[in-house]
Structure 1
Amino acid sequence: MSTILRSIKALSPLLDRVLVQRVKMESKTAGGIFLPDSAVKELNEAKVLAVGPGAMDKDGKRMTMSVAAGDKVLIPQFGGSPIKVGDEEYSIFRDHELLAKINE
């Protein structure tokens, strides 16, 4: 990416795209034992940070998004468009690529 973002808040998804950040697995167990980086795997769980307004259907009407900012979702292991801001990593997926919404 040629443009350097100072903050992820400067990024607004377009159409049916969803900006997410993967939830990081704890590197410490409940008993207080620290796990090495090789033992900590990436989870497919992510938090939705921002959503686009929705795609247009063939009649020109805006389709509603299936998720909203703040939702937790399951994302595919691979895919999406990665974005790095500082040390933090984010991804942009299309709404239909999300696997499930986690209701807590």
Structure 2
Amino acid sequence: MAGVRRLLPSLNRVLVEKVVPPTKTNAGILLPEKTTKLNSGKVVAVGPGARDRNGNLIPVPFKEGDHVLLPEYGGTEVKLSDKEFHLYRDDDILGTLHE
């Protein structure tokens, strides 16, 4: 995680680590690729937000540690410390997942 702290997203961007779903069950049954495709991730870092026309700061609605639903395509891939992360604008993220 030390490499992640070096990147602070700018404006309204969010740095997300995608959750890798399991490829087999606890009993050892292999799951089809279609069922293992879940576009979710954990927010690792958040930018300060964007400014509106009047110069007022619009904060990002997500915080570090949130589990979010991601679009199927999009985002910018970033590699830090041999880990893969994705940068999204806050309005590209579909929502927050609650357990």
User: TM-score band (shorter)?
Assistant: 0.7 to 0.9
* Identity %, equivalent residues: 38
User: In 2, distance between residues paired with 1:103 and 1:30?
Assistant: 23
TM superposition shift of 1:98: 0.3
Structure 1, gaps ≥5 residues long? 1-5
TM-score with structure 2 setting the length: 0.86
Partner of 1:78: 73
Looking at secondary structure, tell me which structure has more strand per residue: 2
Q: 2:83 aligns with which of 72, 83, 88?
A: 88
Q: 1:35 to 1:84 in 2, by over 3 A?
A: farther
Looking at secondary structure, tell me which structure has more helix per residue: 1
Checking the alignment, whether the CA contact within 8 Å between 1:22 and 1:43 is kept in structure 2 is: no
Which amino acid is 1:71 matched to? Answer: D
Give the paired residue count.
97
TM superposition shift of 1:49: 0.3
Partner of 2:16: 20
Once superposed, what is the RMSD of the aligned Cα atoms?
2.1
